[in-house]
Structure 1
Amino acid sequence: MTPSFEIPCVILCGGKSRRMGEDKSLLPFDSSTSLTQYQYDRLKPYFKNIYLSSKNDKFDFLDKSSNCLILDKGEVYSPIIALQTILQTLKDEKVFIITVDTPLVSIESISSLINESNNFDICVAQTLRTHNLCGVFSKNNLSTINKMLEEDIHKVGYLLKNNNTKYLNFDNDDEFINLNNKDEYNKAIDIINNTK
């Protein structure tokens, strides 16, 4: 049976991609024209709503009438600003957040994160390191986020430490690989090709 998650999913696509040298959200991936479209198409069937968080509208595959784009305000590139915008924009109490550059996170792992998030403001994945932007975030975080931005603090780790956070452990580090550079991008493509 296909899981159907009652919370929305937001894919973060607004980073600068400095280490990649080009906008990684627009790089082709598997049979999709872009990494963003790959993530969007694979996750959409499982969530009641799915959104893209970005600085601008750069996605040619989106139906413009779908209202699934959440645009950050201001010039600063910051995941904390993205989280603030998302939590202020959506009416839902909780949202599942994932970055565009983690295309190998399984639906089973996402399901575990959502199921384990019930009594927490944040529930994020952890392997050898903490995956700060792969997990469930609730509106309860907004007061901390607003205070952080007033004090010019943009570290997601700070948000996790100062809220009721659950760190959920997973064994497979490759599943949570971040495509920050060309080597990681090529490794992820190899992993995808080897699972076909």
Structure 2
Amino acid sequence: MQNHANFSLKLPICVILCGGKSSRMGQDKTLMEFGEFSDLTHFQFAKMSEIFKSVFISAKSQKFDPPLPVLTDEFDEFSPMGAIYSILKNFKDDKVFIIPCDMPFVEISTIYELYENMGNCDICVASDEIRQHNLCGFFDTGITKKALNLYENNNHKISNLLNSVKFKAVKFANSEQFHNINDKFDYEKAISLLEKEI
């Protein structure tokens, strides 16, 4: 991994995904307490605000207390492709970093490295030895119409979008940073990881 001497350069836009069903958790995980923050979303918002000029939340509604800047998902159904379109349509000629709310340990250096590797790609996402993380990366707003077309044709998987544009996956050695909070076991592990960081 590259060493970044200066993280003072603020990146343009970050959008945190908070519109999932949380079915495996049994409750809305985006509103679960996390560290010193009232919920996981406010934790992510504070973290991303340190390195991005603008940070937004992608969600079905304004469900946060205190309120956060929400980009409302245009569609009622839970569709990753619909969420991508609903995010990108708000911006023009820019690169938007998208990250799930339930992936709180992604390293700052990883985000900068993804940005540096974007080049002339439409999408640049993170990967590790285990899997590719299609919803953790930079998305160029030039693919907005492509995302809408795929959604309208009932193609909801982000892999379909990646296969239809120029994209790059950057591999990172530390897979633990991509720990995903899906159920209560994952949540307990995340709390343990958080305590180690403090």
Question: How many equivalent residue pairs?
Answer: 192
Matched, 1:133 2:135: yes
Tell me, what secondary structure is at the counterpart of 1:59? coil
Cα distance in structure 2, aligned partners of 1:49 and 1:77 = 25
Contact 2:82/2:148 (8 A) holds in 1: no
Contact 1:4/1:48 (8 A) holds in 2: no
Residue number in structure 2 paired with 1:158: 160
TM-score, normalised to structure 2, is 0.93
Residue number in structure 2 paired with 1:22: 27
Paired letter, 2:166: N
Cα distance in structure 2, aligned partners of 1:145 and 1:190 = 37
Cα distance in structure 2, aligned partners of 1:165 and 1:2 = 25
Paired letter, 2:102: D
Matched, 1:10 2:15: yes
Matched-pair identity in %: 39
Q: Report how far residue 158 of structure 1 moved.
A: 1.1
Residue number in structure 2 paired with 1:174: 176
Point out where structure 1 has 5 or more consecutive residues left out of the alignment: none
Point out where structure 2 has 5 or more consecutive residues left out of the alignment: 1-5
Alignment of 1:44-59 (within 5 A): 44-59=49-64
Q: Report how far residue 194 of structure 1 moved.
A: 1.4
Residue number in structure 1 paired with 2:123: 122
Q: Report how far residue 92 of structure 1 moved.
A: 4.6
Residue number in structure 1 paired with 2:39: 34
* Runs of 4 or more consecutive aligned structure 1 residues displaced over 4 Å after TM superposition: none
Contact 2:124/2:167 (8 A) holds in 1: yes
Contact 1:104/1:176 (8 A) holds in 2: yes
Alignment of 1:38-117 (within 5 A): 38-62=43-67, 68-117=69-118
Paired letter, 2:21: K
CA RMSD of aligned residues (A): 1.3
TM-score, normalised to structure 1, is 0.94
Cα distance in structure 2, aligned partners of 1:179 and 1:104 = 10
Answer with 146-155 or 9-18: which moved more.
Answer: 146-155
Paired letter, 1:143: K
Cα distance in structure 2, aligned partners of 1:5 and 1:96 = 12
